[in-house]
Amino acid sequence: MSSDEMQSVEKQPPVTIADLSQECMEVFERLTIIGDLLEISEAIASGKELSYALQMVAERAAKSVDAEITAVGLIDWKPRELHYVQSYGRLADRVTGSRIPLTESVRKLVKKSGEPVVINDAAADSRIPQDLVAEWGLHSLLVVPMKIRKKVIGVLAAANGLGKPFAVRDLRVFETIANHGAVAVAHAELHARARHALSDLEAEKMKIEAVLTQLGDGVVVADSQGRIIMMNAAAERIVELPSTEGCGRGILEVFPKTYRGEVHSVIKHLQQSNPKDGLFWEQNVALLDGKTVRVNMRPVFLKNGAFVGTASVMQDITEHVELDEAKSEFISTVAHELRTPLTALKGSLGLTLGGAAGEVEPRLRELMGIAQNNCDRLIRLVDDMLDVAKIESGHLSLDLQVVSIKDRVARAVNQMRELASERQVKLAARTMGRPRSVVCDGDRIEQVVTNLLANAIRFAPAGSTVDIVVSQVHGYVKVNVTDRGPGIPTGEQKKVFEKFYQVSGQSWARDGGSGLGLAISKAIVEQHGGKIGLRSTEGKGSTFFFLLPVPGEEALLSNGRDD
């Protein structure tokens, strides 16, 4: 109720029966109006077609101002027209669907700062398209803009023929109904947009799903609780679980029991990690059915850094692993096949020369000695070739242990003493500083030292000394082997680490070498994370050295904490 109405009630003290019934009528009228509005609201909220709500708007609007015609017009910006989408009353079927060009005058009429407009002589008003006035027999017009967030989106219009003018007082209810109409339109738009967004999402999802399905690798996504929320076709194949059964299960169930403890703690670590850490877990997992899969599990974070789950890619590498095993089996078989005849040869020669078959005459002894030397050379060559095969197929496995390099060097030096004294070369080993222990494959490192010593002794002039120094250099233990031999030309210093490479013009020193020793040594040292190199001056000698990383103080401490 507006304040002037309240005042007018106060100013009329004697209330008559007629007054009361008038009041009642008004209250009743208002109640029906409120009922109408409620009905419109319900129609809007029910999510029915927009036309249904607008039809109701037109109908109730007609009732509220006692109009012959009402229509809801919406602005179409593309062709700049006012499109009457719904109408009620006389001429409804002609008005509905009609379009009025949005001329400047019509626009003014519609907008007119968003206020209602009452025109009681349409024929005299230039703002009204006169052809319509004549065609539809319009006389009085009531136009109320419909607004969404202050923006005019259309009109609710009412029209009467001659003799039925609109009163300005009627407008409040009419306006309210117009507002409801606007809400209905807004609602419908929102719905349409949501549907659109939804179908966009749907399409996006289908695209992603299509890609994931096509993917040969399995993809399993789990939420922050470790429950599987997505599995692609490849993952279903790999873990032999249809995704309908897989989804909702714990991700641990994808893994054989023996891995679950590890995966559990991995997930915990990933969960607590920082997106910046880039932490992930990669591991070959042997499934129960004999398949081997390479699993790469990564945490998934939202933009704000919140952990929302894990994504795992599973690559079936069964064939790869089988091929790998076949390769190493092949190397192993070749080793056996080559070494068996060499065993018989070496055994026979050794026994004969050792007198097991009686005295050996000197000429024969000399010849058999040659056979024996070459047999040994062949054995070394086979060993080296097998090492190269292992290195090249990635099968050089290291048996890592805490090792004193000093001790290993001493052992290698002792082994080579006999050869050195044959060549009249002295071996002088010493340590500098306090070389620490190194985590390495002791036998393989000894092999490297033996290789370097064999080379140095081979090239050292008779009467000279080969120096062996073990030292501690920053985070490394360093081993130097220095000879006073011919040295290596600068241009060839890198090449000596290539397999089969031998420095040209050293034929006098080519006894027993095949050019594999340094290549193998380099591979061994590098697989330890170390470095190998040389310094040499032609005519003066060479120093071959290698460095092995010592687990740093910090690394040791943090290891201790972890354990």
Partner 1 sequence: MKARKILIIEDEPEIRLILEMCLQHSGCFDTILACDGLEGIEMAREEAPDLILIDAVMPRLDGYATCRILKQDTELKDIPVIFLTAKTDRREIKRAIRAGACGYLPKPFDPLQLANQIDRIAEGAESP
Ligand X SMILES: Nc1ncnc2c1ncn2[C@@H]1O[C@H](COP(=O)(O)OP(=O)(O)OP(=O)(O)O)[C@@H](O)[C@H]1O
Closest to partner 1 by CB, 272 or 340: 340
Minimum distance from residue 451 beta carbon to Mg ion (Å): 5
Which residue's Cβ has the minimum distance to Mg ion? 517
Selected from 78, 336, 363, 434, the binder of partner 1 by CB under 8 A is 336
* Torsion, Cα of 531, 537, 540, 543 (10° steps): 0
Taking CB under 8 A as the criterion, the residue among 25, 203, 211, 356 binding partner 1 is: 356
- C-alpha 163/C-alpha 142 separation (Å) is 14
In angstroms, the CA 214 to CA 90 distance is 61
Cα–Cα distances in angstroms (integers) from residue 228 to residues 253, 411, 519, in the given order? 10, 56, 49
- Taking Cα atoms as reference points, which of 443, 453, 466, 451 lies closest to residue 521? 451
Task: Report how far apart the first and last C-alpha atoms of the chain are (Å, whole number).
Answer: 80
Residue 521 makes contact with Mg ion by CB under 5 A: no
Considering the complex, what minimum distance in angstroms separates the CB of residue 377 from ligand X? 8
From the CB of 346, what's the least distance to partner 1, in Å?
Answer: 4
Minimum CB distance to partner 1 smaller for 311 or for 345: 345
Q: Give the containing element (helix H, strand E) for 87.
A: strand 81-89
CA dist list (Å): 306 to 20, 303, 312: 67, 7, 18
In the complex, least distance from residue 337 CB atom to ligand X, rounded to whole angstroms:
21
Distance, in Å, from the CA atom of 468 to the CA atom of 481, rounded to the nearest integer, reads: 5
Q: How far is the CB of 292 from partner 1 (least distance, A)?
A: 17
**Which one of ligand X, partner 1, Mg ion, none interacts with residue 514, CB within 5 to 8 A by kind?**
ligand X
485 binds Mg ion (CB under 5 A): no
> Contact positions toward ligand X, by CB under 6 A?
384, 451, 455-456, 459, 483, 485-486, 488, 496, 501-503, 506, 512-519, 542
Residue 78 is a binding residue for partner 1 (CB under 8 A): no
Instruction: Kindly state whether residue 332 participates in binding partner 1, applying the rule CB under 8 A.
Output: yes
Q: Are 317 and 284 in contact (CB under 8 A)?
A: yes
Q: In the complex, what is the shortest distance from the CB of residue 525 to Mg ion, in angstroms, rounded to a whole number?
A: 14
Strand-pairing partners, residue 314, are 218, 295
- Whole-number Å distance between alpha carbons of 55 and 338: 97
Question: Which residue lies nearer to partner 1 by CB, 164 or 339?
Answer: 339
Two tokens at 247?
A: 């989804």
The binder of partner 1 chosen from 10, 399, 422, 563 (CB under 8 A): 399
**Which one of partner 1, Mg ion, ligand X, none is in contact with 506 (Cβ closer than 5 to 8 A by kind)?**
ligand X
Which one of the spans 126-134, 237-245, 423-431, 510-518 is the region binding Mg ion (CB under 5 A)? Answer: 510-518
The verdict on 455 binding Mg ion (CB under 5 A) reads: yes
Q: Are 503 and 518 in contact (CB under 8 A)?
A: no
Closer residue to partner 1 (CB): 31 or 351: 351
Q: What does 343 bind: ligand X, Mg ion, partner 1, none (CB cut-off 5 to 8 Å by kind)?
A: partner 1
Which phi and psi angles does 90 have, rounded to 5°? -55, 140
CA 357/CA 354 separation, integer angstroms: 8
**Chain residue whose CB lies nearest ligand X:** 517
Cβ 402 to partner 1 shortest distance, Å = 17
Residue of 53, 47, 1 whose CA lies nearest to 23: 1
340 is a contact residue toward partner 1 (CB under 8 A): yes
Closer residue to partner 1 (CB): 215 or 386:
386
What is the amino acid identity at position 319? E
Q: In this complex, which beta carbon is closest to ligand X, that of residue 17 or of residue 370?
A: 370
Nearer to ligand X (CB atom), residue 360 or residue 378: 378
* Per rule CB under 8 A, count of chain residues that contact partner 1: 19
User: Which residue among 73, 145, 517, 530 contacts Mg ion (CB under 5 A)?
Assistant: 517
Which of partner 1, ligand X, Mg ion, none has residue 384 at its interface (CB below 5 to 8 Å by kind)?
A: ligand X
Contact 116, 171 (CB under 8 A): yes
Q: Could you say which DSSP state residue 437 is in?
A: P
Report the relative pairing of strands 426-432 and 465-473 from DSSP bridges: parallel
Question: In b/e form, how buried is each residue of 510-545, taking b as 16+ CB within 10 angstroms?
Answer: eeebeebbbbbbbbbbebbebebebebeeeebbbbb
**Spatial CA neighbour of 136 closest among 111, 112, 162:** 162
Stretch 12-51 residues interacting with partner 1 (CB under 8 A): none
Q: Among 350, 475, 513, 551, indicate the residue that binds partner 1 (CB under 8 A).
A: 350
Among 237, 327, 339, 531, binds partner 1 (CB under 8 A): 339
- Return the residue of 8, 397, 401, 559 that touches partner 1, per CB under 8 A: 397
Residue count of the chain: 563
Q: Interface with partner 1 by CB under 8 A: which residues?
A: 332, 335-336, 339-340, 342-348, 350-351, 354, 356, 379, 397, 399
